[in-house]
Structure 1
Amino acid sequence: MLDVGKWPMFALLPPQDLCSIRLACVFGMSGNETLYVTENDEVFTLGTNCSGCLGTGDIQSTIEPRKIEILCGKRITHLSYGSGPHVVLTTSDGDVYAWGNNGYSQLGNGTATQGLAPCQVSTNLQHKKVIEVACGSHHSMTLTSDGEVYAWGYNNCGQVGSGSTSNQPTPRRVSSCLQDKFIITIACGQSSSMAVLDNGVVYGWGYNGNGQLGLGSNGNQPTPCRLAALQGIHVCQIVCGYAHALALTDEGLLYSWGSNAYGQLGSGVKSNQSCPIQIMVDRERVVEIAACHPTHTSAAKTQCGQVYMWGQCRGQSVILPHLTHFTRTDDVFACFATPAVTWRLLSVESDNHLTVAQSMKKEFDSTATSDLKFLVDGKTLHAHKAVLKIRCEHLRSMLHDEDVIEIDQFSYPVYRAFLEYLYTDSVNLPPEDAIGLLDLAAFYGENSLKTICEQTIKQGISVENAITLLSAAIKYQAKILPVSRVIPAFCVIKVDHLYIHGLKHTVKYWFSASV
């Protein structure tokens, strides 16, 4: 379990408050600002309050935690911060809030006025669900659930990706060559931005004076540019330090590029690299990488749980990955980074006492431990052969020595839901897609899954989707469409005496739509 007491800021809290913390972040130019979320979803901040970054509505420093009422109960899921400092976060509902320094419009509210309290960022995001946020020193980015990136703030080097160097006062979609691409993760350096596509391709834009975009040159880029040096390499995670970047592939390989004055690339020398280079961590498979733009420190965790650090570590330059006694990359930044900040929103929940069911759910579609990939509709799903053989008789007979299997008879949402069911015993699909999953369940001989699908469809039938469900049933040639109720309404559209065969008896369907 993470010990937040390793960050000096938490030494100000009494033990009973420390025990209540569920999420936490330490930020600021000197690591002197703190935000934390309690188990009952209350949000508190304390610290020096530079530029009003504590969100308390004033600029008063405090060593006593102050509650931020507007954020309580919002279920914060992701948070990032700039060095102004400013803070940007998103909630489980996909809403975005920002506050703090706003000298370059990095709060996205269309002004350059300091934000002393959290305010929702809504321009161009009101109909979007944001799942990830990232901040450079004075610019901000968000990633939406439909794979789009929006950016705003300081743009002197093109870090907003708009094609110009004019500051961007409100969120604007980063399009250009990303227009039709699906982004899965984003990261920011001091004045640079990175994005990873669902096919593992990496793009970078913004300041490139130290080669931190990995393009093989040192010229700034005002629009996203693909990292050609990573051609054929599937990147699944990317992080940025002040002027360097680390990338992790789906095979557990680690690459780095950019500034190297403190050895933060882990290459064994201090010369900058404008092209990605592979870094060896004692020939271990890497499962997590860590860096953040206020520091020149890097860290990585291997599959066997060992944590390595390199770069600027307590004033020393460590030029090769150095094995630590830590069990989490977070501890590297608490004990050795300057300033002692957090590289991500900390989760204080313990990973050491998960039930079997919780452990299985946690490993679904995990790139860290999987040994099998499914390609469906051009997208990748990660799985574990042993789990699939245990859980599904059909897959047991189907799986042999393959590492990659292409699936063309089922859609991506349907096959993802099927694999998730094998890991969790639950189905999370709209009734329209549940018909496709019902078809899969019948084909694979999964009777329990068929029952769950039938219940999902029954519970999801409404006047609005009845015709859609019927069309889906015909499309999938479902042998069972378990509709057990008639929807009474004043009929404008009425499908009367329509029969679908395949049950022990014939089921009669009456679908109607009200005006």
Structure 2
Amino acid sequence: MRKYLLVTLFLLVGCDSPTVPNGVTSLTVNPSPVNFDALDDTIQAAVSIGGASDAVVKWSVSDLSVVKVLCWSGQTCQLISVANGTSTLTVTSGSVTTSAPIEVSQLAASFELSDTALSFSALGDETQLTIAPKDRMGHEMSGAEVVWATSDESIVAVSDSGLVTATGIGDATITVTSGSLEATASVMVKLWTSVSVGQSHSCAITTSAEAYCWGSNQYDQLGLGESMTDTAEVDVPTLVSGGHSWESISSGDQHTCGVTTAGDSYCWGNAGYSRMGDGTSGSTRPTPALVIGGHSWASLSGGRRHTCGITRYAEAGCWGDNYYRQLGDSTRSTRSSPRLVSDGHAWESISAGYDHSCGVTTSSQAYCWGNGQASKLGYGDNESRIAPTLVR
């Protein structure tokens, strides 16, 4: 009986063995630290387990508003950036724990200026430039460090916040940088003295005697030079080529003419119907072509297919298409160079229209000639006139 009891007691003690640990001796997270430079970015983290490769692993982060965790197996996990800030990644297996710091800090990968071409027509005028920096995932950033600079403070100034102020006449460039990124905006400060509107383009003269044109360039009527002949349209004032100093300018239907401060006349654009006045016809002129004849001009006016002007000696001359007698030289012949308007008046001003012309003499009398349809010559009838006739 005693022997039986001893055997039974031995068996009971043998079944009461201690708990067996999971065998994990260490945990190592890779990468550590975890750094994000963009929102909505994903980094895959992995844990190396020392002592037991098949142990159960638990992942967690201290701040889900900064980064969230998506795990699909025990030893790998996806971390997705949500907002700028810091958090802590914690990995636990049994009694063993390790952690890795997490930082989400957007870096600018690209940005756009609110405007890349500024034009001022008065000193002291201001424009606020802004930028929209984005990280490499395309998310906009706030509070990005940017530096604003101007190429010439005597022309334009820029504040630390991007406020641009015109300080002088000329051209300058605003540069904004953020890290390794850079963007520029061209600035033009011009004070205008006159402007002329054509069919689909405009031209103007500045106080510094420069000529600028903008709009359609289908026929090279902006005068931008050979390098711009394939440019169909220009949306900001652009300097007319040739380096001349301009006194006045006139935009015609598909061409433009101007008078320099020296009294020379130049035309550019559609050269059909001999409207350039340079002795030729056809094709286009992308750069200003000198009007021949040796006259000293005071003003010009561009019409549809013809041009008229007043010399500094009060003479009126016209050239180009003359089908409707709009040149006023008592013929219907197209002229490739200036021809004096008939009747020998002394002229104060002149204006070339679609298919007729009118002028005012130094004695303040108005005359018109050309196509008389729609009573546009002011004679009380619809008859065309081959030479200037007094407006009633």
* TM-score for both structures, normalised by structure 2: 0.48
* TM-score for both structures, normalised by structure 1: 0.37
Pick the structure with more strand per residue.
2
Larger radius of gyration: 2
